[in-house]
Structure 1
Amino acid sequence: MGKLQTLTNGRMTSFTSAVARRPGTAAGERRPSGPTAARQWTARLLLPVALVLWLLSLRHVHLAGMRDYGLLQVLPVLFWVALGLLVLGFCLLLSDRRTAGGWFAGYVLGLIAVIHATPTLLYPTLRYSWAWKHVAVTDAVIRHQGDVPHAGKLAIYNQWPGFFDLNAFFLQATGLHSALGYATWTPPVFNAVLLAPLLLLYRTVTRDRRLIWGAAWIYYSCSWVGQDYFAPQAFAFLLFVTVMALVMGQLPTSVLHRSGDAHYIRTGDTRAADIPTGRWPVGRFVLVMVLAAVIISSHPLTPLMLISALVVLSFPRRNRRVVLPVLAGTTLLAVVWDATVARPYIADNLNDFMGSLLKPDTNVVSGLAALGTAAPGHVVVAWVDRGLSAAVFVLAALAFLARPWVRRTSLALLVVAPLPVLAANAYGGEMIFRAYLFALPAASLLIAVLLLERGSRPRLQVLAACPVLLALLGGLMFGYYGKESSNYFTKDEVAAARFVAATSPPGSTVVSLTSAVPGLYLRYDDNPMVEFDQQDIEDRRRLVKDPVKGLEGFLPDASPQQPAYIILSRAQAADLYQTGVLPADTVQRMESALSKNPDYIPVFRTKDAVVYRYQGTKS
């Protein structure tokens, strides 16, 4: 009996010791030592301090001072101090393997708030002209109870109406008057919602909290493209990441990396409970197909990115049992949609599509050209954008080379998946930026693995990673804030556009130099639009040479019953100065020429905008 008791006590002692050695178990969890406790409390204190300083800094921002560098040159020092404290606190969290996920979530959500809620809190009106355009489309869908007639170049939204139909349904169900009421908050809300599928995607590869939250932090520190406003592409991208997370979770290489298990990390050894069966649960497969259908009905580009990603994921034989059913279903849905609902647009643009396939080099560089006459600061911002994008791909490639276990995952495949679409079409000069955006979620986890995977000296490793995280975030601020002088609109500019929408008879032509006019498309189904930055080079040259004669060529049918309205505004002048598509003084020269011509009557004037009416040449 004594021997049995001794043996039992020995086993219990060994078991207790083993439990004590396991990190994160309640029974064996030891209180942090003095330096570790100090770091924990410092990190917990820095988050609320940084957020308070950020909110205080927004009280002293003079938006009228924005020029070459947008918000960068008007944000006070206190804002940058708050941002630096966020980075420091997050690095302190990374240095402690016992950090709870809630604190990581707090810091990432804090970063989202600082980056994406700052313009929302500072600006008196909705930011970005394309967001205004999408609000106008939603309102038109409600007015017409579906397809919008006489939509002109915005008829494309009749072929991909999913996003607008959902918003129209939401507005009618809630009794709200317009999407303008919530569109202002789309960037911070969208990015906060996107965090959930990002985390789901990263958890299909690793269970290490530091890598998962580090990847999320890196994503938001590098997502400078700005496709997060009230737009169908933002909605479709959110669904794209969700679909990728669900597909990745079914792959046989799911969860190859675990925190605190050196053998598992080194060999990628899988366990029976962690190996997916390779068969889709019916409910999950139906969910994926529903999400794919919504993507296909909402945006023309994202389905191509989704199909490209699925094709690339199907290259490894081990993935095909999971990926091929989704690929087949998505392709079938896309073909059916394009052959029916989207057929008018595709038929009209088929020659352009086929021509783009023969010019892959032009497609790749199209978004990087025409900077020769841009503002000096705008050129700097463009080069910082490119440098940040290049750094992301270089760091992801280094992770692929330096961390062997990631080669057994599908992360690298997701990074290169947008490249075929990039070579196939220029997408109005934006394809290279869209390809970067779709590659960024997977690239962010690769960078996190490179910088943050625990080694023999983890604290020194985090110390070395902190400047890299700070540099990436600095690059984002240039790309995301550097063009705000033309993205920001005053109340006077909004009033000018609303005046035109409220007083112009149906059939009136609305003219602007650029699209940087809030509410320019409020009645786009009634009033045709002319934007000179979208006209060919000869038309623009005639306008620069003689503003009155350059205008008249676009207004041959103007009459008292259907006059033309010319809107000139502060944001258009800022847009021209930044991009150089027309000389920077074109707004001033137009204003001077029209004010001297009796055929052009000023009908609205404020400090930031003026509207002229033209109803034909007086006899």
Structure 2
Amino acid sequence: MGDLGLLQVLPVLFWVALGLLGLGFCVAVSVRRTPHTCYALYALSLIAMLHATPPLLYGEMRYSWAWKHVAVVDAMLRHDGDVPNAGGFDIYNQWPGFFQLNVLIVRATGLESPLGYAMWAQVLANVLLLIPLLLIYRSVTSDRRLIWLAAFVYYSCSWVGQDYFAPQAFTFLLFVSAIALVVRRLPSSRLRDRDASRRAWPPGRLTLLLVIEAAIASSHQLTPLMLITALLLLSLPRRNRRVTLPALTGAVVLTVAWDATVARRYVSENLDSFVEALTRPEANLWSGLSRLADAAPSQVMVSWIDRGLSGGVFLLAALALIAHKWTRRTPLPLLVLFPLPLVLVNAYGGEMVFRAYMFALPAAAFLVAALLLPSTRRVLARMTVVYVVLLAMLGSLVFGYYSKEAMNRFSAGEVAATRYVTTSTPADSLIVSVTFAAPGLETGYDRHERAEITQESTSAKRLLEKNPLAGLEPILGRAGDRPAYVLLNRAQYADVHLNGEMPPGFVERLESDLSASPAFTAVFRNADAVVYRFDAPMAGGRR
């Protein structure tokens, strides 16, 4: 794979099949008698093509963050709860819900690790997400064509890629489920129970909603705030408050209680930065849109395609509100707008604008579908337009979803090298890598120290750029008398090339210098990775 990842290697037949799938779906939508089962098969087929293709092609799990989360589950399994001396990973002790759930799954199934099923997390997450999406859409309309077109549009535009084995994917599924439960009971819902006029929440359903809110509050930092903001906006119309206020109260109480007790340390340590971010709305908004200066030209192009897709979705959603007055009487406009306040108050590491798109997309997709759905007249002409729009969406989606596979995909050789350096080296060793793109570097993170070159200070990186070995010396000096190792693998080369956090050719220069230096010994090597042990004494006789 080159600069555009899977886009350059998938066969023509894949793209033909994707186009035929979209065409078949459009034909199905043009026929009013198409059954739900047929629509479901189209939606599941789209999910399979987009999300099952990578795990079917690869022998190992993609995404370094997914490997990191597997390592956290492993550590909690070994320590039977919180991980002691976790250092920077202590945040997972403070929001452990997702990880403890997987600890229970691993123990109940007798597996050694969640790794076996984690590589299929994207497929499972998207299949499960279809259920609350359909419930939301059915609460708004009885038109099966509109319901399923909205679902198809959603999966054709969901490019953000936060659906892998992670707390965000888990809590996003819970968020959409909670919103579905609330929307179903709003006065505007066509699915309200007969007792809705007498009581807003039956005890059983309110209990289920509170359990979902508790799981969200205990598993992720951002999603509880998204849920509170969404419920707050849904409470603006007075007619909704009998339903939304109990849900909002539960979300606020559970989130505040969790943040004030279990997560108190993290909240107190970062309170100043939270307050400071409130005064910089413009910087928060642009933080995620201005990080392209050093990226490869291919990634700059991909970023603009993603932005174009996102902007197009919101533009079409706005046009739907103008063209169809009935959509304004639904809760969907509020569910599109609710993430905006959070974009203005916090940058979330430069990712808030993308997370906002992700949370707004379920509602925006329905509005887009409402705009595109043909009436009884001129069905053929309108479905041609729908097909072209869907092809444009899918074409943009695959750029955002597949273009970084050169760094997101890991080979068996890379997994073997990382396993060696994390399990076969002495405890308390220092493990140095150039970037985070290595599968399972955090395995045993409570037993090793990690250093990542791209996370070093600007002055340290300048020294590394000038002379890799001289710049590496202060980093290795942190090991003192402990063993130190340097891991280089194919994905790190791709990461540096695509994201530009170090100058072009830096990893090649570093490996050339390491292989030529008598101070380093290659203790593990294969076609995709190499591990060097640092053998030379530092100044003053320290290693």
* TM-score interval for Structure 1 and Structure 2 normalised by the shorter chain: over 0.9
Query: 2:284 aligned to 344, 347, 363, which one?
Result: 363
Determine whether 1:311 maps to 2:232. Answer: yes
Contact 2:521-2:535 within 8 A present in 1 as well? no
Query: 1:500 aligned to 405, 421, 426, which one?
Result: 421
Alignment match, 1:181: 116
Determine whether 1:583 maps to 2:485. Answer: no
Q: Could you tell me how far 1:459 is from its partner in structure 2?
A: 3.2
Alignment match, 1:138: 73
Deviates more, 1:459-468 or 1:497-506: 459-468
TM-score normalised according to structure 2 size: 0.97
Alignment match, 1:264: none
Determine whether 1:82 maps to 2:17. Answer: yes
Alignment partners' CA distance in 2, 1:162 and 1:615: 42
Q: Could you tell me how far 1:600 is from its partner in structure 2?
A: 1.7
Counterparts in 2 of 1:280-295, with a 5 A limit?
A: 280-295=201-216
The CA deviation string for residues 401-456 of structure 1, in whole angstroms up to 9 with x for no partner, is 11000100110000011111111111111111100000000000001111015343
Q: Could you tell me how far 1:555 is from its partner in structure 2?
A: 2.3
Determine whether 1:598 maps to 2:518. Answer: yes
**Matched residue SS, 2:531:** strand
Q: Could you tell me how far 1:460 is from its partner in structure 2?
A: 2.6
Deviates more, 1:608-617 or 1:542-551: 608-617
Q: Could you tell me how far 1:370 is from its partner in structure 2?
A: 2.5
Letter paired with 2:100:
D
Alignment match, 1:569: 489
**Matched residue SS, 1:529:** strand
Counterparts in 2 of 1:4-403, with a 5 A limit?
A: 66-255=1-190, 277=198, 279-403=200-324
Letter paired with 2:275:
M
Identity %: 57
How has the CA–CA distance of structure 1 residues 615 and 359 changed in structure 2, closer, same or farther, with 3 Å as cutoff?
A: farther
Q: Could you tell me how far 1:616 is from its partner in structure 2?
A: 5.0
**Matched residue SS, 1:544:** helix
Contact 1:280-1:322 within 8 A present in 2 as well? yes
Alignment partners' CA distance in 1, 2:282 and 2:82: 37
Q: Could you tell me how far 1:564 is from its partner in structure 2?
A: 1.2
**Matched residue SS, 1:553:** helix
Alignment partners' CA distance in 1, 2:236 and 2:213: 20
Alignment partners' CA distance in 1, 2:397 and 2:114: 28
Contact 2:43-2:152 within 8 A present in 1 as well? yes
Counterparts in 2 of 1:466-485, with a 5 A limit?
A: 466-485=387-406
Letter paired with 2:51:
H
Contact 1:251-1:278 within 8 A present in 2 as well? no
Contact 1:415-1:442 within 8 A present in 2 as well? yes
The CA deviation string for residues 63-98 of structure 1, in whole angstroms up to 9 with x for no partner, is xxx111110011111111110110110000011000
Contact 2:374-2:383 within 8 A present in 1 as well? no
Letter paired with 1:451:
L
Letter paired with 1:516:
A
Query: 2:342 aligned to 421, 429, 444, which one?
Result: 421
Q: Could you tell me how far 1:592 is from its partner in structure 2?
A: 1.1
Letter paired with 2:137:
Y
Q: Could you tell me how far 1:347 is from its partner in structure 2?
A: 1.2
Alignment partners' CA distance in 2, 1:585 and 1:286: 57
Alignment partners' CA distance in 1, 2:321 and 2:211: 33
Contact 1:559-1:616 within 8 A present in 2 as well? no
Alignment partners' CA distance in 2, 1:457 and 1:385: 32
Alignment match, 1:60: none
Deviates more, 1:288-297 or 1:145-154: 145-154
Alignment match, 2:353: 432
Alignment partners' CA distance in 1, 2:462 and 2:288: 22
Letter paired with 1:90:
F
TM-score normalised according to structure 1 size: 0.85
Contact 1:511-1:565 within 8 A present in 2 as well? yes
How has the CA–CA distance of structure 1 residues 274 and 78 changed in structure 2, closer, same or farther, with 3 Å as cutoff?
A: farther
Alignment partners' CA distance in 2, 1:278 and 1:314: 17
Deviates more, 1:597-606 or 1:195-204: 597-606
How has the CA–CA distance of structure 1 residues 272 and 534 changed in structure 2, closer, same or farther, with 3 Å as cutoff?
A: closer
Q: Could you tell me how far 1:463 is from its partner in structure 2?
A: 2.2
Query: 1:442 aligned to 357, 363, 370, which one?
Result: 363
Unaligned 5+ runs, structure 1: 1-65, 257-270
Letter paired with 1:132:
W
Alignment partners' CA distance in 2, 1:278 and 1:252: 12
Alignment partners' CA distance in 1, 2:81 and 2:344: 35
Contact 1:563-1:616 within 8 A present in 2 as well? no
The structure with higher relative contact order (CA 8 Å, sep 6+) is 2
Counterparts in 2 of 1:520-539, with a 5 A limit?
A: 520-539=441-460
Aligned-residue CA RMSD in angstroms? 1.6
Q: Could you tell me how far 1:369 is from its partner in structure 2?
A: 1.8
- Size of the aligned set, in residue pairs, is 539
Alignment partners' CA distance in 1, 2:197 and 2:353: 35
Alignment partners' CA distance in 1, 2:453 and 2:314: 36
Contact 1:211-1:453 within 8 A present in 2 as well? no
Work out which of the two has the higher radius of gyration on C-alpha atoms and give 1 or 2. 1
**Matched residue SS, 1:607:** coil
Unaligned 5+ runs, structure 2: none
Alignment partners' CA distance in 1, 2:132 and 2:161: 18
Alignment partners' CA distance in 2, 1:115 and 1:202: 22
Deviates more, 1:454-463 or 1:335-344: 454-463
Letter paired with 1:599:
A
Q: Could you tell me how far 1:485 is from its partner in structure 2?
A: 0.6
Alignment partners' CA distance in 1, 2:465 and 2:336: 44
Letter paired with 1:609:
A
**Matched residue SS, 2:488:** strand
Contact 1:254-1:276 within 8 A present in 2 as well? no
